[in-house]
């Protein structure tokens, strides 16, 4: 790496970026805090002004005033960072304050973002703002902005009122999940006896999340001191965090916060119920009256509601309405001005007693006595009536709702179905946890069971909770954790249950599934056989659970290659299922699939295809169209067509499987990886190698943890797998596979065979990526010798060898030899390749890098731009090689001190690489390193530190512990801490860098001199002059060996040494 100097006191920098490749950044502390705040309130405020300085007292006071309106305030001085932040927001609405100087540029970019609700302009010029409907005013003082912001925030909260719409089809799998969640939540909460400790735990939580908000901390203290002195309705209508936090949690189904606020939800419901009885228990109880609620709906939600006339609509949180039509109409009218929304005035007809949900007038008991407010408890359900525009306005509608009554037959049927199909034998939080698992909300389910684990009362509860946690981890493919939980559950059951108890069988069954998923087939077989033995003692011979165990044992034998036993067990499973289950049951389909798998593995493709089609027929009848089992059937049918050479049908089947899995699975699910791999197989068979490679790369990016290290394939397969691991940055595995391939080839090929050269080349690539350049150079030279013997003089592979040798000389700092090798490569490529070939591009990149290293930046930029032009013609826009081009262009601009252009290029590279590399790929670390270097050069030390630490984290995972890049990371982190005057942390990092460099660099390497010098500076600044003197002497000795006598670094080291001598 190159070296440079800061303008501060005699400290040498190493903040030059490297010209490598890259991927994605993680959250820093600020981002983590922002995410937490987004959980607590729907509305967040962004203040964008290039003059913001939070160290300024006026600025801090302004932020303090803004936080009294919206406690989630985010300040930005850079419009690009602000826009990136908005794009990360999923469940919140943004109000923006934008300065005039940035408004002209930013408003057109953010106005149509659905996250942005309202924009306020802080300026004097009012003309240009009129064309943007989300701009709600131009302001010159913070007081008027706060007043307008308060109204906008309230409108946002109103628009965020969460609804679920249920049509006449009451099938559970077609219901809006939030409808089920809120009903079950409500039933659960009303049965739990909350205690004072729940209130205190909530108070502690609030203090933690609002620790830097003085205003809300005062409110928390008030809540703690006087909660029992006021009724819950008063607290709910209080203009503070409690109302916002509860509504946001219910809207987003944030189980963690809902559990914490459970006591308040129950208290508030009971309070509304009490007021309802008091207000409507008299002679007027049989009368109907009308209330109103105004809000905005997204257009797709409005369309759904209009298409569901006569159906049901539920408000999933507590619903605030008014007896005053004009108040609610105003909310609807304001919403109608937002181009993303349709304004809705709900006209709600209610019977005072004959209803499923309590409601009451709260005007006299609310915190603020106004608005003729009527409050409904959570999960109020209404029948949808007529919907019509107001005054011919297509953005403003009136929708009539009728509060459902206890004798609404459709609602009773729906509620009974939900209760029946959502674990009727389970109560309380256990019921919610089961539902969350069933609907795939695993993280939320885990939070529920972790809370229950702390509240357990006996061992049977504990065993049950461990089982559920194991199921969650199993579904998340976190198998080691799943196994731990299942084994904990088993240990408890073995102590408390008889040896033939069916609950023990369940534990063995679950453990068997984990071992199967981790390909430990002997242990999987043992566990499933234990489960079967218990079931055979305790269940009738045709019980479906026996069928499940036979099925699992058959699958294990199939994976172990014992196909006769596999077929026998699968046929037993099918026989039981045919006796005990209806003919369209999905388990019939599963058995047909598994029998088909056995026939496919034995090469009997006609029988395999027959069984797969039987499975698909059943699944189409019995499963939703996006169910993963349908994808499995299409996948297996596609594999058979591939093996029989019917590639169009194969591709069609796999694409159907992919479409289903993309809808129903997380993006990193192994089954998605399998589908991409199978599509790759089809394209490979069709000789469409670019598409095959693209599919394989997608597959391996997902499946990198799942390939067995001892897979019995030929050398070509080991090379293929090694290539994938190399592309994913897992170099130890890549090296292992390449060496296996080489071992096979050395036994079967002549010593000059080109395939041997390819294996040595691959091994050289790995050593290069691991930073062991001498070993890499040695392998590349063997490759060149083999190719010179076996290939014509203009063969492109000879050019590849010259490029690789040039790269090693570059990495070892011998730029003249590197440049010569790269020019040899380019000369061959110009003879043998088309002008837009990617290898020509690579040569231009390499030559550009050499010119960059020797300081000839115009030539460097020219070559890099030639490379970029070729890649833009021949590659898709997110291809990682485009990222490499932008990365290298950024390095030139950085060296030319054009930091904005450098940062722009590096961020383009980062955006591309985020899509194409694994999270621990070394190139990802390099990219963070480069961006950190630019911020360092711009003196933005907090950002520089954040990016350098991200680079270090990746390098620690992907590089050997003595790799020079790790030394560079520690060195630059030390530089940042030095510039931030944190000398202890600077010294610690410099010492780590020195230790690595002493192991990995020659004793006279300039980077060692830089380390000694900078450690000396720290000791001098902290008054330890004798140690400073010692380190300066080392720096001078190295510089005298390696630099000309007039070099500025040598001069600087000598001056530092003389300065400290005078202080001794």
Provide DSSP, 45-101: EEEE-TT--TTSHHHHHHHHHHHTT-S-EEEES-HHHHHHHHHT-SS-EEEEEEEHH
| Residue 367 pLDDT > 50 | yes
Among candidates 691, 669, 598, which has minimal Cα distance to 640? 598
Distance of CA 479 to the CA centre of its chain: 20
Distance CA 631, CA 642 (A): 16
Lowest mean pLDDT among 633-637, 667-671, 854-858: 667-671
Confidence at 999, pLDDT banded by 50, 70, 90:
confident
**In this predicted model, what pLDDT tens digit does every residue of 746-775 receive, in sequence order?**
876 668 777 788 889 989 988 887 778 889
The predicted pLDDT at position 187 comes to 79
Distance CA 44, CA 156 (A): 10
**Tokens found for residue 399:** 């929708």
Lowest mean pLDDT among 177-191, 339-353, 688-702: 688-702
Among candidates 691, 672, 674, which has minimal Cα distance to 683? 691
Question: Which residue's entry shows tokens 């591309």?
Answer: 912
Crossing angle (nearest 10°) for helices 196-209 and 262-280: 120
| Strand 4-5 to 12-13 pairing | antiparallel
Confidence at 971, pLDDT banded by 50, 70, 90:
very high
Which position has the higher pLDDT, 684 or 762?
762
What is the rounded average pLDDT of the residues 1022-1039? 93
| Residue 326 pLDDT > 70 | yes
The predicted pLDDT at position 715 comes to 54
Among candidates 521, 590, 586, 598, which has minimal Cα distance to 558? 598
Most confident by average pLDDT, 45-59, 540-554, 865-879, 909-923? 540-554
The predicted pLDDT at position 203 comes to 94
Distance CA 995, CA 1013 (A): 14
Confidence at 347, pLDDT banded by 50, 70, 90:
very high
Confidence at 280, pLDDT banded by 50, 70, 90:
confident
The predicted pLDDT at position 195 comes to 85
Q: What are phi and psi of 341, to 5 degrees?
A: -125, 160
End-to-end CA distance of the chain: 34
1047: CB partners within 8 A, 6+ apart:
1039
**Tokens found for residue 825:** 């490569």
| CA atoms within 13 Å, Cβ hemisphere of 987 | 14
Distance CA 972, CA 198 (A): 47
In whole angstroms, how far apart are CA 299 and each of 90, 114, 341, 653?
Answer: 17, 12, 6, 35
Eight-state DSSP code of residue 229: G
Confidence at 325, pLDDT banded by 50, 70, 90:
very high
Distance CA 508, CA 530 (A): 6
Crossing angle (nearest 10°) for helices 1025-1042 and 1006-1021: 160
Fold of the domain spanning 164-419: Toxin ADP-ribosyltransferase; Chain A, domain 1 (3.90.176)
What is the rounded average pLDDT of the residues 267-280? 90
| Residue 527 pLDDT > 90 | yes
What is the rounded average pLDDT of the residues 289-310? 91
Among candidates 370, 355, 358, 435, which has minimal Cα distance to 403? 355
Q: Are 965 and 771 in contact (CB under 8 A)?
A: yes
The predicted pLDDT at position 726 comes to 58
Distance CA 673, CA 691 (A): 15
The predicted pLDDT at position 704 comes to 52
| Residue 948 pLDDT > 70 | yes
Which position has the higher pLDDT, 786 or 8?
786
Distance CA 597, CA 694 (A): 27
**In this predicted model, what pLDDT tens digit does every residue of 620-661 receive, in sequence order?**
877 767 677 788 899 999 988 887 778 889 999 999 999 888
Which position has the higher pLDDT, 1010 or 920?
1010
| Residue 204 pLDDT > 70 | yes
Distance CA 730, CA 536 (A): 46
Percent of the chain having pLDDT more than 70?
A: 84
963: CB partners within 8 A, 6+ apart:
770, 771, 955, 996, 1000
Predicted model pTM: 0.51
What sign does the dihedral 795-798-804-808 (CA atoms) show?
Answer: negative
**Tokens found for residue 655:** 């694409």
Distance CA 672, CA 699 (A): 7
Confidence at 700, pLDDT banded by 50, 70, 90:
low
Confidence at 422, pLDDT banded by 50, 70, 90:
low
Distance CA 536, CA 516 (A): 22
| Residue 90 pLDDT > 80 | no
Among candidates 556, 499, 563, 494, which has minimal Cα distance to 528? 556
What average pLDDT is seen over the chain?
Answer: 83
Which position has the higher pLDDT, 838 or 824?
824
706: CB partners within 8 A, 6+ apart:
670, 673
Work out the number of other CB atoms within 10 angstroms of the CB of residue 303.
12
944: CB partners within 8 A, 6+ apart:
15, 932, 933, 935, 936, 972, 976
Distance of CA 927 to the CA centre of its chain: 19
Which position has the higher pLDDT, 252 or 309?
309
H or E element: which one contains 116? strand 116-122
**In this predicted model, what pLDDT tens digit does every residue of 567-581 receive, in sequence order?**
999 999 999 999 988
| Residue 16 pLDDT > 80 | no
| Residue 423 pLDDT > 70 | no
The predicted pLDDT at position 734 comes to 78
| Residue 1043 pLDDT > 90 | no
| Strand 135-139 to 359-361 pairing | unpaired
Lowest mean pLDDT among 25-39, 354-368, 529-543: 25-39
Eight-state DSSP code of residue 677: H
Confidence at 420, pLDDT banded by 50, 70, 90:
low
What is the rounded average pLDDT of the residues 236-258? 85
Among candidates 684, 682, 688, which has minimal Cα distance to 656? 682
What is the rounded average pLDDT of the residues 583-598? 88
| CA atoms within 13 Å, Cβ hemisphere of 742 | 17
Q: Are 306 and 364 in contact (CB under 8 A)?
A: no
What is the rounded average pLDDT of the residues 123-149? 83
Distance CA 592, CA 636 (A): 11
Fold of the domain spanning 43-159: Rossmann fold (3.40.50)
Confidence at 354, pLDDT banded by 50, 70, 90:
low
| Residue 2 pLDDT > 70 | no
Distance CA 12, CA 3 (A): 8
Confidence at 23, pLDDT banded by 50, 70, 90:
very low
Geometric angle at alpha carbon 52, from 50 and 54, rounded to 5°: 155
The predicted pLDDT at position 20 comes to 25
Domain residue extents for the chain: 43-159, 164-419
**In this predicted model, what pLDDT tens digit does every residue of 440-494 receive, in sequence order?**
678 878 888 887 887 776 777 899 999 999 999 998 878 899 999 999 999 999 9
H or E element: which one contains 139? strand 135-139
The predicted pLDDT at position 1045 comes to 84
Helix/strand/coil for 16: coil
788: CB partners within 8 A, 6+ apart:
798
**In this predicted model, what pLDDT tens digit does every residue of 782-799 receive, in sequence order?**
999 998 887 778 777 788
Distance CA 576, CA 578 (A): 5
């Amino acid at each position: 790496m190159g070296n440079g100097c800061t303008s501060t006191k005699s400290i040498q920098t190493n903040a030059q970026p490297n010209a490598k490749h890259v991927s994605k950044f993680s959250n820093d502390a600020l981002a983590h805090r922002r995410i937490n705040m987004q959980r607590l309130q729907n509305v967040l405020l962004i203040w964008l002004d290039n003059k913001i300085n939070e160290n300024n007292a006026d600025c801090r006071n302004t932020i303090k005033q803004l936080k009294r309106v919206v406690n989630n305030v985010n300040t930005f001085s850079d419009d690009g960072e602000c826009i990136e932040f908005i794009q990360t927001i999923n469940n919140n609405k943004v109000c923006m304050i934008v300065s005039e100087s940035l408004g002209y540029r930013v408003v057109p970019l953010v106005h149509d973002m659905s996250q942005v609700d309202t924009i306020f302009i802080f300026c004097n010029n009012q003309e240009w703002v009129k064309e943007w409907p989300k701009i709600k005013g131009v302001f010159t003082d913070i007081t008027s902005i706060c007043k307008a912001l308060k109204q906008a925030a309230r409108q946002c909260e109103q628009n965020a009122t969460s609804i679920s719409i249920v049509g006449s089809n009451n099938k559970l799998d077609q219901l809006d999940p939030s409808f089920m969640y809120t009903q079950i939540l409500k039933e659960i909460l009303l049965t739990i006896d909350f205690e004072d400790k729940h209130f205190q735990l909530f108070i502690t939580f609030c203090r933690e999340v609002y620790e830097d908000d003085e205003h809300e901390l005062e409110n928390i203290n008030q809540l703690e001191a006087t909660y029992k002195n006021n009724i819950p309705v008063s607290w709910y209508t209080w203009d503070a965090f409690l109302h916002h936090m509860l509504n946001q949690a219910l809207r987003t189904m944030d189980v963690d916060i809902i559990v914490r606020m459970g006591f308040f939800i129950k208290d508030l419901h009971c309070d509304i119920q009490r007021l309802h009885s008091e207000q409507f228990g008299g002679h007027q109880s049989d009368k109907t009256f009308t209330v109103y609620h105004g809000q905005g709906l997204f257009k797709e939600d409005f369309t759904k509601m209009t298409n569901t006339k006569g159906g049901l609509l539920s408000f999933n949180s507590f619903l605030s309405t008014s007896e005053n039509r004009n108040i609610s109409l105003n909310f609807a009218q304001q919403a109608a001005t937002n181009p993303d929304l349709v304004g809705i005035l709900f006209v709600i007809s209610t019977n005072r007693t004959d209803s499923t949900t309590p409601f009451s007038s709260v005007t006299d008991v609310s915190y603020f006595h106004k608005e003729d407010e009527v409050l409904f408890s959570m999960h109020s359900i209404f029948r949808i009536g007529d919907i019509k525009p107001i005054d011919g306005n297509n953005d403003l509608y009136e929708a009539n709702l009728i509060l459902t009554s206890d004798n609404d037959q459709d609602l009773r049927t729906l509620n009974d179905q939900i209760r029946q199909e959502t674990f009727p034998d389970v109560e309380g939080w256990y019921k919610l946890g089961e539902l969350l698992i069933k609907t795939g909300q695993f993280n939320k389910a885990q939070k529920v069971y972790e809370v229950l684990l702390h509240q357990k009362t006996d061992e049977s509860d504990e065993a049950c909770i461990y089982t559920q946690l194991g199921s969650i981890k199993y579904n998340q493919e976190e198998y080691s954790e799943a196994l731990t939980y299942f084994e904990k559950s088993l240990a408890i059951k073995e102590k408390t249950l008889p040896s033939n108890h069916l609950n023990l069988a369940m534990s063995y069954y679950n453990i068997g599934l984990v071992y199967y998923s981790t390909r430990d087939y002997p242990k999987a077989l043992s566990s499933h056989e234990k489960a079967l033995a218990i079931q055979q003692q305790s269940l009738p011979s045709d019980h479906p659970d026996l069928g499940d165990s036979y099925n699992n044992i058959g699958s294990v034998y199939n994976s172990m290659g014992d196909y006769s036993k596999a077929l026998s067990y699968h046929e037993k499973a099918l026989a039981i299922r045919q006796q005990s289950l209806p003919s369209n049951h999905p388990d019939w389909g599963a058995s047909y699939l598994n029998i088909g798998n056995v026939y496919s593995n034995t090469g009997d493709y006609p029988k395999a295809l027959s069984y797969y089609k039987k499975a698909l027929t059943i699944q189409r009848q019995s499963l939703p169209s996006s169910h993963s089992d349908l994808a499995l059937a299409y996948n297996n049918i596609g594999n058979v067509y591939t093996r029989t050479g019917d590639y169009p049908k194969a591709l069609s089947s796999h694409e159907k499987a992919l479409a289903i899995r993309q809808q129903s699975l997380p993006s990193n699910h192994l089954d998605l990886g399998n589908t991409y791999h199978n599509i790759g197989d089809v394209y490979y068979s069709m000789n469409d190698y670019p598409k095959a490679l693209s599919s394989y790369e997608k597959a391996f990016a997902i499946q990198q943890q799942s390939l067995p290290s001892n897979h019995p394939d030929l050398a070509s397969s080991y090379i293929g797998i090694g290539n994938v691991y190399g592309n994913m940055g897992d170099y130890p595995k890549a090296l292992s596979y390449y060496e296996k391939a080489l071992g096979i080839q050395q036994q079967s090929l002549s010593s000059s065979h080109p395939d041997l050269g390819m294996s040595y080349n691959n091994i050289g690539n790995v050593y290069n990526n691991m930073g062991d350049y001498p070993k890499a150079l040695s392998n590349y030279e063997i490759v060149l010798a083999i190719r010179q013997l076996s290939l014509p003089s203009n063969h492109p592979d000879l050019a590849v060898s010259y490029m690789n040798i040039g790269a090693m000389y570059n990495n070892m700092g011998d730029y003249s030899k590197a440049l010569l090798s790269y020019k040899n490569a380019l000369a061959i490529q110009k003879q043998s390749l088309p002008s837009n070939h990617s290898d020509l591009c690579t040569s231009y990149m390499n030559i550009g890098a050499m010119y960059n290293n020797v300081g000839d930046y115009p030539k460097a930029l020219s070559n890099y731009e030639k490379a970029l032009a070729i890649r833009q013609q021949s590659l898709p826009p997110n291809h990682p090689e485009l990222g490499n081009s932008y990365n290298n262009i950024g390095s030139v601009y950085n060296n030319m001190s054009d930091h904005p252009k450098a940062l722009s290029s590096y961020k383009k590279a980062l955006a591309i690489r985020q899509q194409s590399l694994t999270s621990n790929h070394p190139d990802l670390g390099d990219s963070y390193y480069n961006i950190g270097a630019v911020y360092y050069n711009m003196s933005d030390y907090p950002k520089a530190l954040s990016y350098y630490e991200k680079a270090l984290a990746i390098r620690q995972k992907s590089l050997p512990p003595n790799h020079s890049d790790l030394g560079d990371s520690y060195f630059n982190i030390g530089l940042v801490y030095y510039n931030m005057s944190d000398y202890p942390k600077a010294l610690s990092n410099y010492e780590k860098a020195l230790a690595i460099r002493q192991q990995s660099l020659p004793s006279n390497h300039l980077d060692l001199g830089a380390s000694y010098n900078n450690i000396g500076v720290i000791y001098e600044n902290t008054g330890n002059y004798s140690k400073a003197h010692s380190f300066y002497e080392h720096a001078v000795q190295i510089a005298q060996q390696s630099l000309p006598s007039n070099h500025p670094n040598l001069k600087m080291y000598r001056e530092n040494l003389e300065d400290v001598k005078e202080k001794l």
